[in-house]
Amino acid sequence: MTGVFDWIDVSARRRDRAGLTRRMLVRPARSALVDLAGNDYLGLARHPEVTGAAAEAALVWGSGATAARLVSGTTVLHRELEEELADFCGAEAALVFSSGYLANLGMITALSRPGTLLVVDAGNHASLIDGYKLAGAQVQTVAHNSPQAVEKALADTRSARVHAVTESVFSVDGDLADLPATLEACRRHNAALLVDDAHGIGVVGERGEGAVAAAGLAGAPDVVWTLTLSKALGSQGGAVLGPRRVIDHVMNTARSFLFDTGLAPAPVAGALTALRVLRDRPDLPARTRRVAAGLHTRLREAGLTVSPPEGAVVSVLAPSAEAAVAWADACRSQGVAVSCFRPPSVPDRFSRLRLTARADLTDADVERAVEVILAARPAGG
């Protein structure tokens, strides 16, 4: 036996010592836990119409898409979902990918080339970061949620092709980017704005149309955005939205679209039905935001450091990575599932519990969650 992988044991020991070893929790089909860990913001993942449509699509179309989208992996369901997503969000066109992660890789790589400058928010999600790396673009990271910092970086560049890249609702802190001010800065310097609206769709805006649309930017010729079907829409998959010529270009050039088997029919039908349920139930996004605001108020009043939520994500600072893990474990043992973020998902010293609101949580669920989180609070938390 050779020791070619001995370095893995060394790195595993280092990870263990820093309290950063990951564990995989297996979720049962039904559980009595109050779930503040998942991203099913509107409670649609188990909506009977949504699951019924997914099951029927599997029976009619088969379990998989069977090929890449441009080969034979596109069904009428994919086209309907693209048309209805574009219509709901106010975009000229949309293209469905098999995940939000791949949609981000596709958007960034298709719109960049070596030499492109990407002015990126310091809090951007890993899937955007991996997009910059794959694109081989120049990257300038700017202060979190600062249109002024974006403006300064744009003013300083001489690159011919420049994009500002940001999340809308940030996945870790739950704050909302100032998209209109960032777009104004972009326009003064002839840059495009690329946005990841994964946590905005279904939650932000009067109808849950997402943060880009709610900010009035959906029809703009210089704004392109992604969303996921796996959070508020309760399914799986992702999409890129924007001007038709951009979407046609992404379809023709994004390798994470071209060389990936299409999204399976069942999640396509699930997302399409979830979108239709959302159209009929504009009260759902407001309910989710109300639950998030309630969690924030209660925990902040108890003295925790909690960022004000703009969507469903409520972020609670923990004193250390180890304390965050122990805190989340203690909550789970008391019947409340929360997730925790620690490096490398967040910078050192910014480990936290991440709570997610759902439209279908009752007041009693929220009350119970608050009690358990406070009772399990670590020293210094």
Catalytic residue annotation:
39, 125, 167, 171, 196, 199, 231
Q: 175-186 burial, b for 16+ CB within 10 Å, e for fewer?
A: bbbbbeebbebb
Closest approach of Cβ 231 to ligand PMP, in Å?
A: 7
Give the shortest CB-100-to-ligand PMP separation in angstroms: 2
CB of 171 to ligand PMP, least distance (A): 4
The contact set with ligand PMP (CB under 6 A) reads 99-101, 104, 125, 127, 167, 171, 196, 198-199, 228, 230, 238
Nearer to ligand PMP, 104 or 351 (CB): 104
Nearest to 174 by CA among 339, 6, 319: 339
Shortest Å, Cβ 365 to ligand PMP: 23
| CB-nearer residue toward ligand PMP: 104 or 273 | 104
Torsion of CA 133, 195, 176, 86, to 10 degrees: -150
- Nearest approach, Cβ of residue 24 and ligand PMP (Å): 16
322: its two tokens: 């180890």
Bridge partner residues of 162 (DSSP): 117
**How far is residue 192's CA from residue 160's CA, in Å, rounded to a whole number?**
12
Residue 344 or 380: the one with the smaller Cβ distance to ligand PMP is 344
Q: Which residue is nearest to ligand PMP (CB)?
A: 100
> Is the distance from CB of 222 to CB of 187 less than 8 angstroms?
yes
Q: Where are the alpha helices (DSSP H) in the chain?
A: 6-17, 48-61, 76-89, 100-110, 126-135, 147-156, 179-188, 211-214, 244-253, 255-258, 265-280, 283-301, 321-333, 363-375
| Closer residue to ligand PMP in complex, CB, 104/140 | 104
Joined together, the tokens standing for residue 301 give 């009043």
Do the beta carbons of residue 365 and residue 352 sit within 8 Å?
Answer: no
Indicate the residue among 171 and 381 with the shorter CB distance to ligand PMP.
171
Alpha-carbon distance 314 to 311, whole Å?
8
